[in-house]
């Protein structure tokens, strides 16, 4: 079964905001830096944005926004490395920040999603037994995120990936999971559950190419050619403005998959 799933120097001075210690700026200083970090992130300057978020955290350990955003950025950046050691460093830090955010707001959509993403990311670089434990733990946080915000597209997407993984465990994984749970008491996940969650992600954010690509992969694994082609055609019809290397690569892979089916 297929598995889905610039470094830039830290600025010494950020528009003059770092001339004074961040503590001296007070809450207004935090707000200014949060705005700056958001702008950097929107410009796809994740390294610089992360540096600002972590500066805020160093001065204010209970800044929920900075904790959530730093966690999400570490999860995102960790995926860009090929070696597991660097991935693990980012993913572990992502979980640390997410857990701190969750302790501050255990019912919030952002804190729950940050926890879920960090656990799902760590699962990719863990051994078989720990991977299953982390995957199993992810579900409750996704449920928490969607209970707080049922339009949270990224949470729906990650839930779709969770359902697909659980619906396609091999015999050894099923056995191990049963032992860990003391019996399979949870509702069995299905590919239909995965499809529904992916469609909900697309409904709430139709401009994310990853959602279509992962949904198409589910249909491909199910050998549903018609649905796979239709999903890829929907993706292409969106004319999504591609900004990053990841998006360009996803677009290329979608086109290759579609061409292969249309031969």
Per-residue pLDDT of the chain (263 residues; tens, 9 = 90+): 444 443 333 332 233 333 333 443 445 568 999 999 999 999 999 999 999 999 999 999 999 999 999 999 999 999 999 999 999 999 999 999 999 999 999 999 999 999 999 999 999 999 888 988 999 899 999 999 999 999 999 999 999 999 999 999 888 777 777 776 565 545 678 999 999 999 999 999 999 999 999 999 999 999 999 999 999 999 999 988 888 889 999 999 999 999 998 77
Q: Where are the domains of the chain?
A: 206-263
* Residue 158 near residue 142 (C-beta atoms within 8 A): yes
> Which segments within the chain are labelled E, that is strand?
none
* Residue whose C-alpha is closest to residue 108's, from 65, 138, 76: 65
CA 128 from centre of chain: 21
In the block, residue with structure tokens 């207004």: 28
Q: What is the pTM (predicted TM-score) of this model?
A: 0.85
Q: How far apart are alpha carbons 101 and 94 in whole angstroms?
A: 11
């Amino acid at each position: 079964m297929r598995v889905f799933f610039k470094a830039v120097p830290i600025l010494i001075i950020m528009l003059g905001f770092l001339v004074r210690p961040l503590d001296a700026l007070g809450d207004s200083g935090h707000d200014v830096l949060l705005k700056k970090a958001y702008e950097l992130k929107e410009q796809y300057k994740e390294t610089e944005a992360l540096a600002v978020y972590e500066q805020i955290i160093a001065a204010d350990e209970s800044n929920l926004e900075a904790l959530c955003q730093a966690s999400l950025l570490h999860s995102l950046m960790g995926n860009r490395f090929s070696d597991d050691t660097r991935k693990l460093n980012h993913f572990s830090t992502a979980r640390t920040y997410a857990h701190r955010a969750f302790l501050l707001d255990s019912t919030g959509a952002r804190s729950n999603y940050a926890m879920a993403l960090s656990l799902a990311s760590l699962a990719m670089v863990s051994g078989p037994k720990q991977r299953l434990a982390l995957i199993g733990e992810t579900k409750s946080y996704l449920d928490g995120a969607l209970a707080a915000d049922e339009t949270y597209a990224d949470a729906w997407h990650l839930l779709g990936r969770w359902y697909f993984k659980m619906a396609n465990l091999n015999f050894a994984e099923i056995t191990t999971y049963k032992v860990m749970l003391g019996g399979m008491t949870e509702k069995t996940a299905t590919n239909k559950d995965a499809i529904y969650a992916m469609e909900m992600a697309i409904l709430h954010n139709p401009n994310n190419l990853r959602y279509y690509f992962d949904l198409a992969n589910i249909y491909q694994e199910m050998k549903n050619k018609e649905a796979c082609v239709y999903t890829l055609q929907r993706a292409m019809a969106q004319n999504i403005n591609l900004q990053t290397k990841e998006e360009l690569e996803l677009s290329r892979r979608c086109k290759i998959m579609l061409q292969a089916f249309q031969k």
